[in-house]
Amino acid sequence: MTSNPGGRERKNIENWPRQLMRSFWRHCILFGEYLSQYAKMRMEYRGDFIVSTATSFAATIFALFFVVVLFRKIPSLAGWTFPEEIFLYGFSLLPYGIFNIISLNLYDFGNNYIIEGKFDRVMLRPISTLFQVLFEQFRLESIQEIATGLFCMGWASSRLHVHWTAGKFSLLVFWGACAGIIYVSVFLLLTTISFWFEDRIGVHPPVWNVIAFGRYPLSIYSGVVQFFLCWIIPFGLASFYPSVRLLGHTVTPEYLPFVPVVALAFLVFAIFMWNFGTRHYSSTGS
């Protein structure tokens, strides 16, 4: 009997979309299981969850209060009125909330997974290591950041007479998702450094502080800072240009088409570095 490697190869190519879809749905089910189990665990301690949510909400309101105080002193900021800034601020909270919900393990990855040796357990399971690290824990209280962001956008839209259509809602979801991917990808890249440099604190804190710069119009910054916030750590790109388009404004240069491109590029590079790091990971032996 003769083998037919060409036929098997064609069959594998034909089955690839089906296998991809099967893998996608499998991971969706696993995500649902991870989320439901973690939510049940958090609800076992409702008091702690309520306090954590209240604390998180207070921090969000305090940061927003700074904007209110700022605009009590000035009528506009680089041509942006108070409602327009609230709209931008609200949109910036959407990717920030998405990132915060699934960032808990990324922020503490070096300490909990590398130094403490938990990553050995992760690598033994027949599922993507990145999937496990991202979704083993959630910061559910950060849902309030998304809710607050939507409220701010709704309040600003009523003052600015922004007309929301089904198409504009679709764009909001699309750009919000792209911005969320940028946030997660940036911090995932920082997390991969832990595969080579064991540090309990990591390099996340200074970059975390850069997030605040993306909540204000890019035009208030110098050209160097604008370049940094668009192409190096693109938090400004993720929030400013989608907000401008949703408000119906124009800005020069127009970088909005680059938002999904940058999101995809950062995501692919971050996943590549993660896979590269896992291949060179050395167990702690503990």
Note the pLDDT tens digit of each residue in 161-220.
999 999 999 999 999 999 999 999 999 999 999 888 877 777 788 888 899 999 999 999
Total domains in the chain come to 2
The secondary structure of residue 2, as a DSSP letter, is -
Q: For 110-116, what is the mean pLDDT? A: 86
Dihedral (Cα; 39, 42, 48, 52), 10-degree rounding: -40
Judge whether 264 lies within some domain: yes
As beta bridge partners, residue 80 has: 77
Where is 108: in which H helix or E strand?
none
Are 32 and 49 found together in one domain?
Answer: no
pLDDT at residue number 11: 54
pTM summary value: 0.90
Residues 11 and 71 occupy one common structural domain: no
* Listed residue (180, 138, 111, 176) closest to 52, CA to CA: 138
pLDDT, tens digit, 9 for 90 and up, residues 124-172 = 888 899 999 999 889 999 999 999 999 999 999 999 999 999 999 999 9
Rounded to an integer, the average pLDDT of 81-97 is 96
Q: What is the mean pLDDT of residues 214-227?
A: 94
Position 254 pLDDT exceeds 60: yes
Which of the four pLDDT bands, split at 50, 70 and 90, describes residue 267?
very high
Tell me the pLDDT of the chain averaged across its residues: 89
285 falls within a domain? no
Q: CB–CB of 107/194 below 8 Å?
A: no
pLDDT band at 250 (very low <50, low <70, confident <90, very high): confident
Confidence class for position 1, pLDDT limits 50, 70, 90: very low
Quick one: what percent of the chain has pLDDT higher than 90? 61
Q: Are residues 58 and 184 in the same domain?
A: yes
Are 31 and 135 in the same domain?
Answer: no
Last residue of a domain, one of 27, 44, 61: 44
Same domain? For 111 and 23 the reply is no
Q: How far apart are CA 52 and CA 6, in angstroms?
A: 58
| Residue 213: inside a domain | yes
> At residue 92, does pLDDT exceed 70?
yes
CA angle 148, 152, 153 (to 5 degrees): 120
In a domain? residue 286: no
The predicted pLDDT at position 24 comes to 82
Identify the pLDDT of residue 158. 96
Residues 109 and 207 in one domain: yes
Q: Are residues 102 and 243 in the same domain?
A: yes
Same domain, 141 and 12: no
* Residue that has been written with the tokens 């604390």 in this structure: 55
Q: Is residue 60 part of a domain?
A: yes
28 lies in some domain: yes
Whether residue 28 is found in the same domain as residue 53:
no
* DSSP label of 246: H
Regarding whether 124 and 8 lie in a shared domain, the answer is: no
Domain presence at residue 20: yes
Residues 29 and 139 in one domain: no
Residue span of the structural domain in which 23 resides = 1-44
Question: Distance between alpha carbon 283 and the CA centroid of its chain, in Å?
Answer: 29
Asked whether residue 69 is assigned to any structural domain, the reply reads yes
Please check whether residues 128 and 33 belong to one and the same domain: no
